[in-house]
């Protein structure tokens, strides 16, 4: 009798054990624990603020005071606000001009760096330095280079006899836009060049040799060999480049803070000065939320635009 009881007890313990044991090796159960830290960070500090931001844009919240729901009032206010539209125009101008030039120069630099030359590795690592140095710190250096009185560019041009007066780089609206775009290009080119270079290095040299034997010119080799093979990586690099240019904040904040006369306010800087500096959280959030459709459009455009080319060429999505 005792043996029967014991056996039963043993059996139930084994069952328990195996239930626990099975849970321990159950992949879904384990995965929850593995995903927990990352999920906690992303939900608490990314997803939740993202939703809250959309909600705040429909309220009249101010700093340290919860607001109440006011519907589309913030957006209606922005619709009639010429400064907001100026910032939209600036952002689009900044993004489009800077991205195109970054792409062209970046691709050109990548092609140069892909050629055979001495000290290749060293040159490549030097090229990337502008990308390593914190944006604000190089922006400060540019601020000094663009100084209205002691600008080294004005000085050099004066010495060469090209101009008589100092150029007011950051004091005039259009000049300030151009100067900021130049600084942004300066910082963005290394990223584009080095990532495209990584793509170029995967192209087999035998393809170029074959093309040369078939009598292809340098331009044809680029157009029909390099470019098609590089398209997927161009799509990704340009998506990132457009995204980071569109949401740029630090470069502008360090150099002009949106001035002169709002001429260089991007949507991000306007959102900061309205939302945090003036304390109008609701209005600031509305500007930030208004960036989302533009961002989605930019991502869709560069992503699908280039993906479709790839698909038309009959390649597999690997």
Task: Tell the smallest beta-carbon distance from residue 33 to other proteins (Å).
Answer: 8
Continuous H helices in the chain: 2-25, 27-42, 48-56, 73-79, 82-113, 120-127, 129-132, 135-145, 152-159, 173-200, 205-213, 218-221, 227-246, 250-255, 267-272, 281-312
Choose between 76 and 209: whose C-beta lies nearer to other proteins.
209
Q: Determine, following the binding rule CB under 8 A, whether residue 284 of this chain makes contact with other proteins.
A: yes
Number of residues that bind other proteins (CB under 8 A): 101
Please report whether residue 83 would count as binding other proteins according to CB under 8 A: no
Please report the DSSP string for 187-244 in residue order.
HHHHHHHHHHHHHHTTS-HHHHHHHHHTT--HHHHIIIIIHHHHHHHHHHHHHHHHHH
Stretch that binds other proteins, among 7-15, 223-231, 269-277, 304-312 (CB under 8 A): 269-277
Nearer to other proteins, 86 or 281 (CB): 281
291 binding other proteins? (CB under 8 A) = yes
Residue 21, interface with other proteins (CB under 8 A)?
A: no
Site residues for other proteins, 212-241, by CB under 8 A, read 212, 233, 236-237, 239-240
Distance CA 41, CA 47 (A): 9
| 271 is a contact residue toward other proteins (CB under 8 A) | yes
Between 12 and 68, CB nearer to other proteins:
68
Nearer CB in complex with other proteins: 8/155: 155
Is 11 a binder of other proteins (CB under 8 A)?
A: no
Q: Residue 242 corresponds to which tokens in the numbers above?
A: 């457009």
Site for other proteins in 187-216 (CB under 8 A): 189-191, 194-195, 198-199, 205, 208-209, 212
Cβ neighbourhood burial of 159 (10 Å; 0-12, 13-18, 19+)? exposed
CA distances from 171 to 87, 146, 259, 260, 311 (A): 17, 10, 8, 6, 48
- Please tell me whether residue 150 binds other proteins under the rule CB under 8 A: yes
**Span near other proteins by CB under 8 A; candidates 10-18, 79-87, 133-141, 170-178:** 133-141
């Amino acid at each position: 009798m005792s043996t029967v009881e014991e056996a039963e007890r043993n059996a139930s313990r084994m069952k328990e054990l195996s239930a626990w044991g099975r849970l321990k090796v159950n992949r879904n159960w384990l995965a929850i624990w593995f995903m927990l830290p990352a999920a906690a960070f992303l939900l608490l500090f990314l997803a939740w603020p993202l939703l809250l931001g959309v909600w705040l844009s429909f309220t009249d919240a101010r700093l340290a005071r919860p607001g109440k729901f006011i519907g589309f009032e913030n957006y209606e206010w922005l619709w009639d606000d010429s400064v907001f539209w100026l910032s939209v125009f600036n952002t689009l101008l900044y993004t489009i001009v800077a991205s195109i030039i970054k792409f062209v120069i970046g691709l050109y630099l990548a092609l140069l760096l892909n050629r055979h030359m001495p000290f290749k590795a060293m040159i490549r690592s030097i090229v990337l330095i502008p990308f390593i140095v914190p944006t604000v710190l190089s922006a400060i250096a540019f601020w000094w280079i663009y100084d209205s009185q002691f600008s080294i560019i004005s000085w050099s041009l004066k010495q060469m006899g090209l101009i008589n007066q100092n150029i007011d780089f950051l004091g005039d609206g259009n000049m300030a836009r151009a100067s900021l775009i130049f600084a942004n290009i300066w910082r963005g080119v290394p990223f584009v060049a080095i990532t495209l270079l990584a793509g170029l290095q995967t192209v087999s040299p035998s393809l170029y040799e074959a093309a040369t034997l078939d009598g292809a010119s340098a331009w044809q080799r680029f157009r029909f060999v390099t470019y098609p093979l590089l398209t997927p990586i161009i799509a990704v690099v340009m998506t990132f480049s457009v995204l980071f240019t569109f949401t740029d904040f630090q470069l502008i904040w360090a150099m002009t803070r949106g001035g002169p006369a709002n001429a260089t306010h991007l949507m991000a800087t306007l959102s900061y000065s309205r939302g945090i500096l003036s304390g109008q959280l609701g209005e600031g959030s509305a500007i930030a939320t208004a960036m989302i459709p533009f961002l989605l459009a930019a991502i869709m455009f560069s992503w699908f635009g280039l993906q479709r080319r790839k698909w038309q060429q009959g390649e597999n999505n690997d």
